[in-house]
């Protein structure tokens, strides 16, 4: 098979590992910078050009779309879908996962346990908004934040009001979430592929840091998930529509709480912590499913 990895940097760990796994299993792999693709539409159907050459005979794609380029990146994925090329991620599911508010609404509708969350278009009455969550401490998050950026822990109601006022003055949209103290600055990343949790790690934030992101200096180690944690991760991924997902959860007194469902989870942390060949499992998923790609008569979601 000819498998294209949609990535802006072929030197990234995840991209290199996927390319190695493709080659190791006897397939042809190539890295395509989705931001340098031209999308052409006419009566002959959709086509894709990359660096002046028409992309042909691609059997499957692995989207690695960065959050900052979601709009164009998902347009490229959608163009491949229109051409009946198998994608490890559905373009609509990527869009859902990148919209924090929308993904939380979907998780809530699906009955997935999560920290209580509040959002409003009118945040001048901070007292009213805080009452929905309860007493401080509370977590305040930018809707557009990634990798722990734009996440603030307000330890008192007064501090929360000050942060909300600051964001309001900048016309920046935020959500409020209850702070799960018993998590102690740690979370779980469960890696889901095709309806199965293939690896999990526990990430611990550095001392004095409530965010556990490895990019923020945290560390990670392998963890064996409980049955409830596994089922929660699978339910969260399925509700967003992602075949491959990194599901972030907190361990709480009420059970595992989902924080976020990631559509382009990195491979370095999970492979290092677990020793599992995650890249190889992604290629196995393609091998099982690429042959079932949609036929021309099938409808494709716009």
pLDDT at 229: 97
Give the separation between CA 279 and CA 225, rounded to whole angstroms. Answer: 21
pLDDT at 247: 98
Where is average pLDDT lowest: 24-28, 219-223, 251-255, 275-279?
A: 219-223
Across 91-111, average pLDDT: 95
Where is average pLDDT lowest: 40-54, 59-73, 88-102, 116-130?
A: 116-130
Q: Are 143 and 173 in contact (CB under 8 A)?
A: yes
Which pLDDT band holds residue 207 (cuts at 50, 70, 90)?
A: low
Alpha-carbon dihedral angle through residues 225, 232, 103, 159, given to the nearest 10 degrees: -60
pLDDT at 214: 53
Across 159-182, average pLDDT: 84
Determine the 3-state secondary structure of 8 from DSSP: coil
Q: Model-level pTM?
A: 0.86
Instruction: Determine what percent of the chain is predicted with pLDDT higher than 70.
Output: 88
Which pLDDT band holds residue 299 (cuts at 50, 70, 90)?
A: very low
Reported as a single tens digit per residue, the pLDDT across 102-160 is 999 999 999 999 999 988 775 566 677 788 887 788 898 887 755 556 788 888 888 88
CA distances from 26 to 1, 11, 228 (A): 8, 21, 37
Instruction: Determine what percent of the chain is predicted with pLDDT higher than 90.
Output: 66
Rounded mean pLDDT of the chain? 89
Reported as a single tens digit per residue, the pLDDT across 128-142 is 778 888 778 889 888
Which is higher by pLDDT, 213 or 192? 192
Where is average pLDDT lowest: 36-40, 117-121, 276-280?
A: 117-121
pLDDT at 216: 54
β-bridge partners, 30: 4
pLDDT at 298: 46
Range of 92-101, 128-137, 158-167 with top mean pLDDT:
92-101
223-226's contacts with Cβ under 8 Å and 24+ in sequence apart are 223/188, 224/200, 225/188, 225/190, 225/197, 225/200, 226/256
Phi, psi of 244 (to 5 degrees): -125, 125
Where is average pLDDT lowest: 75-84, 103-112, 177-186, 261-270?
A: 177-186
Rounded CA Rg of the chain: 20
Smallest CA-to-CA distance from 264 within 2, 28, 9 is with 9
Domains annotated for the chain, with CATH where assigned, are: 2-89 (3.40.50.20), 96-110+182-263 (3.30.470.20), 117-179 (3.30.1490.20)
Where is average pLDDT lowest: 34-48, 164-178, 233-247?
A: 164-178
Phi, psi of 117 (to 5 degrees): -130, 140
Across 81-97, average pLDDT: 96
Q: Are 191 and 177 in contact (CB under 8 A)?
A: no
């Amino acid at each position: 098979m000819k498998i294209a990895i949609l990535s802006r940097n072929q030197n990234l760990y995840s991209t290199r590992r996927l390319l190695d796994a493709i080659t190791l299993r006897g397939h042809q792999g190539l890295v395509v910078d989705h931001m340098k693709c031209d999308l052409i539409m006419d009566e002959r159907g959709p086509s894709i050009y990359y660096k002046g050459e028409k992309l042909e005979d691609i059997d499957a794609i692995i989207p690695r779309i960065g959050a900052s380029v979601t709009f164009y990146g998902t347009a490229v994925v959608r163009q491949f879908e229109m051409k009946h090329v198998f994608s490890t991620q559905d373009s609509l599911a990527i869009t859902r996962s990148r919209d924090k508010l929308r993904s939380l609404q979907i998780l809530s509708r699906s009955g997935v346990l999560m920290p209580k969350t509040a959002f409003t278009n009118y945040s001048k009455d901070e007292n009213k908004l805080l009452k929905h969550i309860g007493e401080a401490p509370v977590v305040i998050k930018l809707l557009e934040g990634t990798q722990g950026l734009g996440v603030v822990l307000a330890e008192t109601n007064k501090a929360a009001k000050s942060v909300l006022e600051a964001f309001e003055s900048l016309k920046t949209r935020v959500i409020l979430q209850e702070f799960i103290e018993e998590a102690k600055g740690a979370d779980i990343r469960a890696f889901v592929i095709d309806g199965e949790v293939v690896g999990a790690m526990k990430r611990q934030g550095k001392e004095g840091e409530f965010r556990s992101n490895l990019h923020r200096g945290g560390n990670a180690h392998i963890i064996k998930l409980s049955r409830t944690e596994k089922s929660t991760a699978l339910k969260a991924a399925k509700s967003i529509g992602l075949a491959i997902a990194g599901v972030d959860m907190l361990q709480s007194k009420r059970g595992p709480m989902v924080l976020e469902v990631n559509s382009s989870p990195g491979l370095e942390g999970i492979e290092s912590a677990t020793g599992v060949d995650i890249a190889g499992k992604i290629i196995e998923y393609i091998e099982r499913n690429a042959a079932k790609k949609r036929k021309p008569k099938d409808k494709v979601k716009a």
